[in-house]
A and B are shown apart, each in its own frame.
Chain A
Amino acid sequence: MPKFSYLLKLLTFLIGLVVILEAISYLATRVVINKAVTQNARAELLSGGELFTRIMQKNVEQLALSVKVLTEDFGFKDAVATNDEKTIASALINHSARVKADVGILIASDGKLIASDQAFGLQIVDEFNHLKEQAQLRGQAYDIIVVDGRAYQFVMFSVKAPVVIGLAAMGFEIKQDLSVELQRLTGLEVSFVIHDGKQYHYLSGTQDEKNRVDLLQQMQTENKQGEVFVYDELISLAVPAARQNNHLLAVLQVPLSQVLAPFSRLNVQLFLLALVFSVLAGIAALFLARSVTHPVRVLADIARKIAGGFYSTPIAVTSKDELGDLARAFISMQQAIGEREQQVLYQSEHDPLTGLPNRLRIFPELEDAISRSRPLKESVFLLVIDIKNFTQINDELSQEIGDAVLREVGQKIARILTHGEVLRLGSDEFLAILMAAERDNIAELAELIHAAFKTPLLVSGLQVSVDVNIGLATYPQDAESAESLLRRANLALNEGRGSERRTCWYEQGWDEKHLRRLHLFREFESSLNAGHISLYYQPKINLERPDTLGAEALVRWRHPEMGFVSPDEFIGVIESSGQITILTRWVLKTAIAQLRVLLDEKIKITCSVNLSVLDLLVDDLPAYVAELLQSHKVPAENLYLEITESAIMREADKCLHNLRRLRDLGVTLSIDDFGTGYSSLSQLKKLPVSELKIDKSFILNLDTSADDQLIVRSTIDLGHTLGLSVTAEGVESEAIKALLKSYGCDTAQGYLYSKPLPAKDFIQWVHQYLTELTP
């Protein structure tokens, strides 16, 4: 669906835009938040570091105060001066306890170390050297001292009485408690790491085991003190416990995830916002798409209607935008297409030469007339008019004159048949559809048409005589449908043409005959191949020498459905279709083969085969005949070829050449059905024929008709005069035979001897006949 795809594109675009914008804003927010959070964390770490430093400083101050109090105690000074170790130790314990210091020591002027905690004292080697030096130099000192893996903040003061008589110091151990306390106060992870000169050790802290290892590794590789650094998502700050040295570092850390945690809610909100915007974008896309697709859909519907041939859909144009422009274009397009189609339709339905409707209009007009005639109880008359001599006009004058003649004829007919529809059917054929109650009215009109062409047409200064044939069929009398009406009118025209009737009304049965002819034409070849067509032979007897035998090969068609088909019927059909040449060749082949059989039976016989004039127009017929005779070893004088008189006279000039070639082969040529055509004696004289066959119509009633006797007798004389032998066909009685013999007729053929017989029967008949001849 195109609407959907456009919507989809728009939707994709808008939502994509929203998503991209949201993603960018999300990322930007995230970057800003990350930065802010990191800065926050950094500040937190720094303030944590500050706090740590303060605590350390406070410890120092507390220690210092306490040590100072101790060193200024007169009694303590006394004890130190007098080297009263027990008193010194007890004083150290006492003062340490006051400030909750973890250990107190005194280093006497002779270097001896006395500690509040004896165990602690025993472990001291030279850890205090640096502190001692500083204290000696300044009277007071602070340092981180690591003893036995424990780190202490130590403050040392000199004991003066009033000159220095010893050094007293007190220390706080940096314990796990401190890291826990720091964590409680700052919310940061706190680790204390010590550097022993070579590497870092984890002293104590709140980090878990894994992080401790990671931290030490990190510290080993990059040691940034007082500066925030980040590794493994941990924001870290290392703060030295003392300014003097960086052996002990407090590492404050906060996981990035922890500081980001409050912002994850913001992420959800951003996501929801993106979702809301996407939905809004979707709705916007829907509205936008609708605003575009609705007019487009309307136009698409109109386009479909135009495609369906409907050109008057009203298009309301309201918008002045591009779509409005498109709609206006549609309006002018549908108008233009409509007009053009009208034009094309008119041109396609009209003959450009005469301006008359052409054959495309036949059926619409016929149907229209038929439907109009019914309620009027009138008949529809269909006239098919053709110009009889149009080919001649075209050939002898010119195509231009031919066209002018067509125009004139069309106009003339149209002028006469004002109440009907005149169409041009094709080349020189016109068609008129008329409605009338009486057939006579139409007959009068037909006569009017003929009358109109009595005077020659004046075309380009030439007088052209035009003759027309008119075929007529009537609805509903002759036909029940437009198609059959047209076909039957055409049949009437053809019939009229054939029978020289210039106005020919359709008669009952013509169409059926016509259809049968069509059927025969279609069936002929398959029947020939299927063996439904066979040759019969009718004997031809020499009247003077009855043992001289001849036969005429006659075609018989026994169709399995149509039954026996008369040669008079189908020969005409296959002649008009040109199939006659196929039949002739088959007959020649079969008859010559049969001649061979007869000759092999020692029967001296000739065989006649009928030729169509079409056969003679084909130049290779003589060669074909020669080849057949040769291949069957049949002498040429045994073959007679018959051509009907009417045919040969029509096409004598064209046939002459092939007739001569056949005659030259040694074949005997005869003129069949003599007396029915219009032979001219000069033609007859020219033809290379040797035999005349008098048509049976003159013979059948020869014994009773004096006219026939006259004709036959003169014909025989004529034949003999021209040097031709004469054969009478249709001899059915001894009386006629006797008459013919008395006239000098050479041979006779007819039922008197035998009807045409199939080959086998014919052979039998010959044997029997010859047997009867020789008593």
Chain B
Amino acid sequence: MNNKLLSQLFFVATLLVSQSGISGQLELTVVDDKGNLLKDAVAALVPAQKIDYTTVPTAIMDQRQNMFVPGVLAIRVNTQVRFPNGDDVRHHVYSFSPAKKFELRLYHGMTAEPVLFDKPGTVVLGCNIHDSMVAYIYVVESDYFAVANAQGNISLTAPAGKYQLQIYHPQMSGNFPESSITLDDSQPVSNKITVNNLSAAKTAEAADEFSNLF
């Protein structure tokens, strides 16, 4: 199924490379197959040369009003994420994702230990108490990544060079095919990316309504 999806993936890119000396700029617009702008899309430029990241930056995945904030978080590999609980109820944050399997049993405030994400991949976060709480952490092997703003625009700045462009979105099943991209300091590269076959947007489901079943 993934292959099928991939094969139907339609990719049209117009690169706008900015001429800013040593760095290049990439402007992306991510839309679905109906042309709607996709917020929460994540784009990452992974350098062709693999880099060993030794520094451990910290990211925050806050929880407010029984929601993860932000809903989508992109981090470099080997980043430590803190899970401060902004609600007055306890949360039980967990992930069964292969990229990082962990569990933060019921905690308040800042009591949870930070979690180190040392492998690239998608980590889906859930709360064992609040089923509706979902968050996605994309762990990438790059420092050049961004999450689309409300307009669905992503702006990336990276040193000139060759990269693999990776695209993520919570509603995407499987991986979006990577594409090679070369940044130089000439014109910034503008690109529109259409993502097909997204799964339906999560709706607030009435879990107790069994009568619908029958």
Contacts and interface: CB of A to CB of B under 8 A. Distances in A.
Interface of A: 56-57, 60-61, 64-65, 68, 72, 74, 77-78, 81-82, 138-142, 155, 160-163, 165, 242-243
Given A139-B205, A163-B134, 19 more contacts: A57-B211, A57-B214, A60-B213, A61-B213, A61-B214, A64-B210, A64-B213, A78-B96, A139-B207, A140-B213, A142-B214, A162-B124, A162-B127, A162-B131, A162-B133, A163-B124, A163-B126, A165-B96, A243-B214
Contacts of A161: 94, 96, 124, 126
A142 B213 contact: yes
Interface in B116-132: 124-128, 131
Nearest to A62: B210
B213 A155 contact: yes
Contact of B213 (A81, A82, A141): A141
Nearest to A81: B96
Contacts of B131: 72, 160, 162
Contacts of B133: 162
4 closest residue pairs by CB, A with B: A162-B126, A81-B96, A142-B213, A64-B210
A505 to B, nearest CB: 145
Most A CB contacts (10 A, CB to CB) among B96, B124, B212 go to: B96
A639 B194 CA distance: 182
Contacts of A57: 211, 214
Given A82-B96, A162-B131, A162-B133, A61 B210 contact: yes
Nearest to B207: A68
Contacts of A61: 210-211, 213-214
A74 B134 CA distance: 15
Contacts of B124: 161-163
A734 B114 CA distance: 219
Contacts of A81: 96, 101
B165 to A, nearest CB: 24
B136 to A, nearest CB: 9
B210 A65 contact: yes
B210 to A, nearest CB: 4
Contacts of B94: 74, 161
B94 to A, nearest CB: 7
Contact of B214 (A65, A162, A242): A242
Contact of A56 (B96, B207, B210, B214): B214
Nearest to B210: A64
Nearest to A158: B205
Contacts of A78: 96
A162 B134 contact: yes
A56 B210 CA distance: 13
Interface in B178-214: 205, 207, 210-214
Contacts of A141: 213
B96 A60 contact: no
Contacts of A77: 96
12 contacts: A57-B211, A57-B214, A61-B211, A65-B210, A72-B131, A74-B94, A78-B96, A81-B96, A82-B96, A140-B213, A141-B213, A162-B131
Contacts of B96: 77-78, 81-82, 161, 165
Contacts of A140: 210, 212-213
A139 B210 CA distance: 11
A81 B100 CA distance: 12
Contact of B126 (A138, A160, A243): A160
Contacts of A64: 210, 213
A163 B131 CA distance: 10
Contacts of B213: 60-61, 64, 140-142, 155
> Of residues B126, B205, B207, B213, which shows the largest number of chain A Cβ atoms within 10 Å of its Cβ?
B213
Nearest to A163: B124
Contacts of A243: 214
A77 B131 CA distance: 12
Nearest to B128: A74
A82 B103 CA distance: 14
A207 to B, nearest CB: 26
A60 B128 contact: no
A144 to B, nearest CB: 11
B210 A60 contact: yes
Nearest to A155: B213
A725 B136 CA distance: 199
Nearest to A56: B214
Contacts of B101: 81
Contacts of B211: 57, 61
B138 to A, nearest CB: 14
Contacts of A68: 207
A157 to B, nearest CB: 9
A678 B112 CA distance: 201
A605 B212 CA distance: 166
A165 B125 CA distance: 13
A703 B210 CA distance: 181
A226 to B, nearest CB: 15
Nearest to A242: B214
Contacts of A242: 214
Contacts of A82: 96
Interface in B125-175: 125-128, 131, 133-134
B83 to A, nearest CB: 15
Nearest to A74: B128
Nearest to B124: A163
B70 to A, nearest CB: 16
A161 B124 CA distance: 8
Contacts of B127: 162
A428 B89 CA distance: 165
A78 B213 CA distance: 26
Contacts of A72: 131
A21 B66 CA distance: 82
Contacts of B125: 162
B47 to A, nearest CB: 29
A557 B131 CA distance: 167
B214 A60 contact: yes
A138 B210 CA distance: 12
B131 to A, nearest CB: 6
Nearest to A109: B173
Contacts of A56: 214
Nearest to B122: A163
Interface string B85-107: 00000000010100001000000
B50 to A, nearest CB: 29
A245 to B, nearest CB: 12
A64 B96 CA distance: 24
Contacts of B207: 68, 139
A64 B131 CA distance: 17
B4 to A, nearest CB: 14
A145 B127 CA distance: 34
Nearest to A65: B210
A65 B127 CA distance: 20
A352 to B, nearest CB: 122
A761 to B, nearest CB: 156
B34 to A, nearest CB: 19
A165 B97 CA distance: 10
A162 B128 CA distance: 8
Nearest to B129: A74
B130 to A, nearest CB: 9
A59 to B, nearest CB: 9
A523 to B, nearest CB: 134
A168 to B, nearest CB: 14
A58 to B, nearest CB: 9
A82 B205 CA distance: 25
Contacts of A160: 126, 131
Contacts of A139: 205, 207
A13 B212 CA distance: 70
A579 B152 CA distance: 171
A23 B78 CA distance: 100
A258 B101 CA distance: 67
A482 B23 CA distance: 186
A82 B134 CA distance: 19
- Which of A57, A74, A77, A141 has its CB near the most chain B CB atoms (within 10 A)? A74
